A and B are shown apart, each in its own frame.
Chain A
Amino acid sequence: MTISIYIDDQICPAEEGELLASVLLRQPNPLFRKHPVDGSPRAAFCLMGVCFECLVEVNGVANQQACLIKAEEGMQVKRFLS
């Protein structure tokens, strides 16, 4: 079943039950964040909750691991791209 989530305020289709990291990797620009130390671009790396590269804001809570969360209808996701 297709659901809708919001990535940086843009509506975006997702499959119900898939990982949030999978949805983000499918975007035209599959970036998750700019690294807080040097601003280098980052994306999900380990997919098993170990590396903390896939941190995004989910429903107002910062620094959530997108590889451990399933996409849910209406989910508000913000990447740290600036």
Chain B
Amino acid sequence: MIELLIVGAGPAGMSAALEASSLGKTPVVIDNRPEPGGNIYSFLGSNRQHRSQRMKIFGPDYAKGAKLLDAFVEAVSAEKVIYHPNTRLWRLDQDGAFAYDGPMGSRAGQAKSVVLATGAQERPMPLPGWTLPGVMGVGAAQILLKSGGELPSGDIVVVGSGPLPLLLTVQLAKAGRPVKAVVEPDGASALLSATSLAHHAVAAPKTAMKGIMLLAKRALRRTPVWRKATAISVDGDERATGIKFRSGKEFRIDAENVLLHDGIVPNLNPVRAANLTTDYSEQQKTWHAQSNDVIRLAGDGAGILGADAAVLSGRLAAREICGTTASSADLSAMAKQRSFRKFIDRAYPPVCPATNAAPDTVLCRCEMIRAHQVEQSIATHGTDPNAIKRALRVGMGPCQGRMCGHSLADFVGSKTQTTSEAVGLPRARNPILPVSFQILAELD
């Protein structure tokens, strides 16, 4: 029996571990990455030690994770927190039964309490040609840079809008790889209409608004932007060679690197496998999960609120588990983060391009299922995502629907004049990651 299992060593997981440790527990933290930090603070530890020039590229929003990271690393070396990197949770039940594997071996057991801090992923953005090498996520490109890598040679085009594409555009310019063009899909930015929201909320959104305007100004000073783009597709045979779109008239831009972004969504596979209740958020066009008596969600895995909120919610989750009341400062800071997020969500609504995917668009990358196949399947199987999944194998490849679940709901919803919420996601079952027989054989 593990008293407290924390899944994920991003801001929420690290914060939960430190709080639980300060309240007398010795949590076990497992994380699938080789270093703590999650997505936002990925490789912060090794960059500070070995690649100080990279720190300049990522700026203060990245560097500010150092305090939390240092405290976590210190707690681990003092054995106040047990930390297993490169370790994958592949089973979670609603009562806290779990299984994971990693360099320390393969283990199954029971946790008295679980903090699920498994974070978020970029919302899949299915466009014709998006499976070509050279196409990747904006967040993916940022992690690549943080990890010490570079984008392959050639021109870079960003497709999307919002704080992350703007930030990456600034960071790539600093890294000596300026972005050739930014293409904003139609409906991706409502920054101007969101200003009406600013006076509804407390102070945070005003500073947020100012920050984003400044960022946009810096990012787009030398970068051409095409707005209200439709019919976006990526060209290429063996790899991406360019991007086509309509914005008034037809355009084509040569580019070997096409970076996509349509916001981020929670990592829903573990919460669904554990049968936690999920509710559709119209504001974020995704599902938000609720904690149960054993499993508590923290960070973006419970709904997208960002890194600062993740630190707060990690602390709140740990306190709840330890039977300690939340501090009122944390609760009010959390409320402020929520109103801040409302503003961002309103300013940059997800485009969900699957809603009007062209027939040839690949919706499921693992099984190579295209939009027209799903449309045909609706005629026979109706809108039940489980029936469509069984018929087509959509969502049954190694990613287990992580790259197509939202798209399937959006596409089926729009084809049948219903909503993504009404269509829903197909069932997610354990194991939530591919598991080899060797891992099963090594279970102790």
Contacts and interface: CB of A to CB of B under 8 A. Distances in A.
A38 B362 CA distance: 12
* Most central of A35, A42, A46 by chain B CB within 10 Å: A46
Contact of B137 (A40, A45, A49): A45
Contacts of B148: 15, 17-19, 22
Contacts of B122: 46, 48
A75 interface: no
B403 A50 contact: yes
A43 B238 CA distance: 11
Nearest to B135: A45
B367 A37 contact: yes
A41 B132 contact: yes
Interface stretch (B32-40, B68-76, B178-186): B32-40
A25 B238 CA distance: 15
A44 interface: yes
Interface in A8-28: 15, 17-19, 21-23, 25-26
Nearest to B399: A52
A44 B17 CA distance: 31
Q: Is the interface of B mostly helix, strand, loop or mixed?
A: loop
A70 B151 CA distance: 17
Interface size for chain B: under 10, 10 to 19, 20 to 34, or 35 or more residues? 35 or more
Contact of B136 (A35, A40, A44, A69): A44
Q: Is the interface of A mostly helix, strand, loop or mixed?
A: loop
B46 interface: yes
B224 interface: no
Contacts of A70: 34
Interface size for chain A: under 10, 10 to 19, 20 to 34, or 35 or more residues? 35 or more
Nearest to A65: B32
A40 to B, nearest CB: 6
Contacts of B365: 45, 51, 53
Contact of B152 (A30, A48, A49, A67): A30
Contacts of A31: 133, 238-239
A7 interface: no
A70 B238 CA distance: 27
Contacts of B113: none
Contacts of A51: 365, 399, 402-403
B1 interface: no
A19 B403 contact: no
A8 to B, nearest CB: 16
Given A42-B131, A68-B32, A47 B368 contact: no
Interface stretch (B138-146, B282-290, B291-299, B340-348): B138-146
Given A18-B147, A49-B33, A51-B365, A42 B133 contact: yes
Contacts of A25: 144, 149-152
Contact of A46 (B140, B147, B149, B398): B140
B187 interface: no
B150 A26 contact: yes
B140 A45 contact: yes
Contacts of A4: none
Interface of A: 15, 17-19, 21-23, 25-26, 30-32, 35, 37-38, 40-53, 55, 63, 67-70
Interface of B: 32-34, 39, 46, 50, 86, 121-122, 131-137, 139-141, 143-144, 147-152, 238-239, 267, 365-368, 397-399, 402-403, 434
Q: Which 8 A-B pairs have the closest CB atoms?
A: A22-B149, A43-B133, A18-B148, A47-B140, A52-B398, A47-B143, A19-B147, A37-B368
